[in-house]
Amino acid sequence: MRFDRDSFAEVMDSITRNRSRSLLTGFGVFWGVFMLILLAGGGKGLKQLMEKNFEGFATNTCLAFAENTTKPYKGFKKGRSWDMTYTDASRVKALVPEVDVVSPIVSFWGKTAELGEFTASCSIKGVYSNYSSIESPQLAYGRYINDMDVSAERKVCVIGKKIYNNLFPQGGDPCGETIRVDGMYYTVVGVDFNNGNISINGSADETVTMPISLVRRAYNTGEVIDLLCFTAQEGVTVSDIVPRVREIIARQHFIDPSDERAIEMMNTQLIFGIVDSLFKGINFLIWLIGLGTILAGAIGVSNIMMVSVRERTVEIGIRRAIGATPGMILSQIISESIILTLASGLAGIVFGVGVLSVVELAMTTDGILKAEFQVGFSMALLSAMLLTVLGVLAGLAPSLRAMEIKPVDAMRDE
């Protein structure tokens, strides 16, 4: 096929002469590409917003906590209350080699942190240093609780973002300052700016985190723990070790191992898997809808081009009579189809990118973008290549129809 400057001029002249038809032809493609870009960007941004809720939280974690029994066992009636202990944590760590980190938690709520005239509502969380492997802190200042803090029962703490803003409205590094909680004084050694919406036993930005040994002594909790957190080794599925952990804890407290309500297990790996599968399905649906709409637009282009060829029978016949080759006719029709499809598609890409930019502006707070909705360059390039292919396919049938027109039949129609 020949496609030089003269051929391009002829194609553009033909498109200009059929301006209204060209606009109608390109709208379907424009809308399809626009929807694909918009849905792809929206899906990307929505996924990032969802992932921010899990930010800093280990994806292979399970949380175990005690509830009243629902089955009788070895002479004990159902409905019995019981408590988890530090021994449970030690036994799980020792008897389940597939477990990586085991970290008990002791918590108290409804407390108030004070610094001079400033106060902040808070909760207290006592943890080991390895708890940072489960809920990773985002330290704006200082450090997290370490092993020395736990072993020496140091009166130190890490405060959340909201507590920091209330107690230190002037800003700056608060490490070394002393705050009071429940009449006891603690030295601030770190500030956790964790923004994740998944928090264990209280929101991270309203929590004062302390060494678990200190909380145990200060509040006289004895051997009782509120929550037992553990993570699985790399390559191990949490669901595979949950029954063994439940059995170990149940045997220690004379609970029926099949009583799942008595030993509640919140498998976060399962939750993350459900969310991941959900977004895979959403992405598939986005591409299905977008490509379906683009294909429908390409079919519309083919139909309109077929009508155009039928109306231009005489013109094509005359061109054949004065020496135009079948390749020249084929080139012009396919070129018109490609230009219409590509131009409409690129307009859809530009418009979609513009709308996503507005969405990103709306999702920006204090100069911080909450999620990226903009599609990548590879997405735009793939769309352009797809439009070119569809343009060729859309113009193939009309061009073959045009090549069958004979000068004699065209003159007869005239």
What does the H/E/C string look like for the chain? CCCCHHHHHHHHHHHHHCHHHHHHHHHHHHHHHHHHHHHHHHHHHHHHHHHHHCCCECCCEEEEEECCCCCCECCECCCCCCCEEHHHHHHHHHHCCCEEEEEEEEEEEEEEEEECCEEEEEEEEEECHHHHHCECCCEEEECCCCHHHHHHCCCEEEEEHHHHHHHCCCCCCCCCCEEEECCEEEEEEEEECCCCCCCCCCCHHHEEEEEHHHHHHHCCCCCEECEEEEEECCCCCHHHHHHHHHHHHHHHCCCCCCCCCCEEEEEHHHHHHHHHHHHHHHHHHHHHHHHHHHHHHHHHHHHHHHHHHHHCHHHHHHHHHCCCCHHHHHHHHHHHHHHHHHHHHHHHHHHHHHHHHHHHHHCEECCEECCCCCCCHHHHHHHHHHHHHHHHHHHHHHHHHHHCCCHHHHHHHC
Residues 257 and 296 in one domain: no
Burial class (CB in 10 A: 0-12, 13-18, 19+), 172: exposed
Total domains, the chain: 2
Residue where a domain stops, chosen among 269, 292, 322: 269
Mean pLDDT of 303-312: 67
Q: What is the pLDDT of residue 200?
A: 75
Residues 32 and 74 in one domain: no
pLDDT at 413 over 70: no
pLDDT category of residue 1 using cuts at 50, 70 and 90: very low
Residues 29 and 83 in one domain: no
Specify the pLDDT at position 288.
83
For the cut 80, the answer to whether the pLDDT of residue 241 exceeds it is yes
Shared domain for 32 and 126, answered yes or no, is: no
Mean pLDDT value of segment 285-299: 76
Of 248, 269, 290, the residue that ends a domain is 269
Residue 331's identity, in one-letter code, is S
**Residue 15, pLDDT above cutoff 50:** no
Q: What integer best gives the mean pLDDT of the chain?
A: 81
Are 303 and 242 members of one domain? no
CA dihedral over 331, 333, 334, 337, signed as positive or negative: positive
105 has pLDDT over 90: yes
- Both 121 and 165 in one domain: the answer is yes
Q: Is the pLDDT of residue 307 over 70?
A: no
Tell me the per-residue pLDDT of 108-158, one tens digit each, with 9 for 90 and over. 999 999 998 999 999 999 999 999 988 888 899 999 999 999 999 999 999
Residues 66 and 207 in one domain: yes
Same domain, 243 and 262: yes
Please check whether residues 79 and 204 belong to one and the same domain: yes
Q: Say whether both 172 and 296 belong to one domain.
A: no
Q: What is the pTM of this model?
A: 0.68
Per-residue pLDDT at 370 exceeds 60: yes
Residue at a domain's end among 238, 269, 300: 269
209 and 96 belong to one structural domain: yes
| Number of other residues whose CB lies within 10 A of the CB of residue 380 | 18
Kindly report the length of the chain. 414
> Above 50 in pLDDT, residue 165?
yes
> Do 159 and 13 have their domain in common?
no
Give me the mean pLDDT over the 32-52 stretch: 80
Which structural domain range is residue 11 located in?
5-54+273-413
